[in-house]
Amino acid sequence: MRLTRYFLPVLKENPAEAQIVSHRYMLRAGMIKQQAAGIYSWLPLGLRVLRRIEAIVHEEQERAGHILMPTLQPADLWRESGRYDDYGQEMLRIKDRQEREMLYGPTNEEMITDIFRAHVTSYKDLPLTLYHIQWKFRDEMRPRFGVMRGREFLMKDGYNFDVDRDAALHAYNRHMVSYLRTYERMGLTAIPMRAASGPIGGDNTHEFLVLAQTGESEVFYDDRVTALKLGQREIDYDDRAQVAEVCREFTTLYARTDETHDQAVFDQVPEAHRKVGRGIEVGQIFYFGTKYSESMGAEVTTAEGHKVPVEMGSHGIGVSRLLGAIIEASHDDKGIIWPEGVTPFPVGIVNLKQGDAAADAACEGLYKALAAKGLEALYDDRDERAGAKFATMDLIGLPWRITVGPRGLANGVVELTSRRTGVSEEVSPEAAVARIAAIYAGVR
Ligand code: 5CA
């Protein structure tokens, strides 16, 4: 992508309404535009990151059925579960021209149960997991911090159906492990913490929290939990014992939100490891058994021929919130520092002397050589001062930058700079391309 042809409305001034760094940088980097409280348009750079995050979420949903449910739902479905009256003012209620009551979905337990009961009747079709990535609406009392607490926001929500409690708990564990992998691929440490279930229901639930001072949840944890990594280990998601063991590893050390915090238990953590902080909730998994299947009549026949309400759980990832969480966890005073897994462009090319025949040709050559390796660079081909080009690149946070100028080219080199460390190296254009390709080979 050439910057002269790209819609990147960068702001020079700090927007007054933005109280936290991620909101400030998302506005300044031209990623989003507010349209109403908690409702945003996604501009090209923001949308590219959103799509990267979605891609990782999809890739880690092994064998789950990918579907798409509508944003608008009939109120009657929610009357069956009893949640239409319970949900309160967070639910946006709408009437169509026939005066039929509708709502903009805040979540989809009812609708997925309706799909299930229409099509599945036997244990032979289980286990089953279905998920989608769809916009939700919650009329939050205090939408704030940009995409962190929006009213309209993008969520991945998945739902598992199982024949008995053990199978449903295995589904719960599977999702815990696949979520750990999902967040690690985004460059995040998201800690599973015992939480409260709120309006979704059930008593087995974990939230995934990214530690950040600007987080909305107070968290209490043994800091050894922050060193745990899933890494590259092979997981067989059908192996109940292996999956349960990974969950045990990640949930044994104390880590709870204020909703479930128990001071007496916390006091047993060695003092040097006892930490109180704040976190951003980027996901939550639930096991709620037959809460929806019983009220909505979603039954399956067991191997013994009995009819039982199907066992269920749900799992959510705050896809749009993740942009804010990643920026909170990865930035400096010049701007965003995208982890390679989610960056909107793998690398930026800065031409120090636009119009200089050798510099222009070298940039074109790099751009094409990167494209040939499947890497789309963002090429700053504007006729701007070098300082302004560097400031834009630092603000939008591409992890790597190749700087091209007549002086270096006279010696056959360009400069390759890491956004994270600020370290630059002089290398040949071919070596720069090879290095970038090698870095991304393990990422995308
Ligand atoms: N049905 C279940 C799981 S599928 C559910 O709705 N879970 S949830 O309420 O915990 O939401 C899932 C995730 O969506 C949260 O962990 C959070 O990351 C994100 N989320 C929730 N509310 C908002 C909001 N107002 N703005 C942005 N993201 C949000």
| DSSP assignment string, 263-330 | HHHHTTS-GGGEEEEEEEEEEEEEEEETHHHHHHT-EEE-TTS-EEEPEEEEEEEEHHHHHHHHHHHS
Name the burial class of residue 236, with classes exposed (0-12), middle (13-18) and buried (19+) by CB atoms within 10 angstroms of its CB: exposed
- Cα(73) to ligand 1 centroid in Å equals 18
Per-residue confidence in pLDDT tens, the chain, 444 aa: 999 999 999 998 899 989 999 999 999 999 999 999 999 999 999 999 999 999 999 999 978 999 999 999 999 999 999 999 999 999 999 999 999 999 999 999 999 999 999 999 999 999 999 999 999 999 999 999 999 999 999 999 999 999 999 999 999 999 999 999 999 999 999 999 998 877 777 778 999 999 999 999 999 999 999 999 999 999 999 999 999 999 999 999 999 999 999 999 999 999 999 999 999 999 999 999 999 999 999 999 999 999 999 999 999 999 999 999 999 999 999 999 999 999 999 999 999 999 999 999 999 999 999 999 999 999 999 999 999 999 999 999 999 999 999 999 999 999 999 999 999 999 999 999 999 999 999 886
The reported pLDDT for the residue numbered 444 is 64
The reply to whether ligand 1 has any atom less than 6 angstroms from the CB of 283 is yes
Question: What's the CATH number for 347-441?
Answer: 3.40.50.800
Cα separation, 390 vs 334, in Å, equals: 10
- Tell which one of 321, 322, 326, 328 to mutate to probe ligand 1, the residue whose CB is within 8 A of the most ligand atoms: 321
Architecture of domain 3-336: 2-Layer Sandwich (3.30)
Cα separation, 419 vs 171, in Å, equals: 39
- Strand (E) or helix (H) holding 427: strand 424-427
DSSP assignment letter at 84 = H
- Cα(385) to ligand 1 centroid in Å equals 43
The reported pLDDT for the residue numbered 202 is 72
Protein residue closest via CA to atom 7 of ligand 1: 316
- Cα(422) to ligand 1 centroid in Å equals 35
Torsion of the alpha carbons at 402, 403, 407 and 408, rounded to the nearest 10: -20
The reply to whether ligand 1 has any atom less than 6 angstroms from the CB of 110 is no
DSSP assignment letter at 122 = B
Which amino acid is residue 391, in one-letter code?
A
Q: Count the Cβ atoms, other than its own, within 10 Å of residue 305.
A: 7
Protein residue closest via CA to atom 24 of ligand 1: 149
The reply to whether ligand 1 has any atom less than 6 angstroms from the CB of 284 is yes
DSSP assignment letter at 33 = E
Cα separation, 362 vs 414, in Å, equals: 9
Atom of ligand 1 nearest to the CA of 199: 9
Beta bridge partners of 281: 209
Locate the domains of the chain by residue range: 3-336, 347-441
CA angle 122, 125, 113 (to 5 degrees): 80
Closest to 223 measured CA to CA, from 270, 177, 181, 275:
275
DSSP assignment letter at 401 = E
Cα separation, 313 vs 223, in Å, equals: 29
- Cα(297) to ligand 1 centroid in Å equals 26
- Cα(321) to ligand 1 centroid in Å equals 9
Question: 402 near 414, Cβ under 8 Å?
Answer: yes
Three-state SS for 343-409 is CCCCEEEEECCCCCHHHHHHHHHHHHHHHHCCCCCEEECCCCCHHHHHHHHHHHCCCEEEEECHHHH
Atom of ligand 1 nearest to the CA of 322: 18
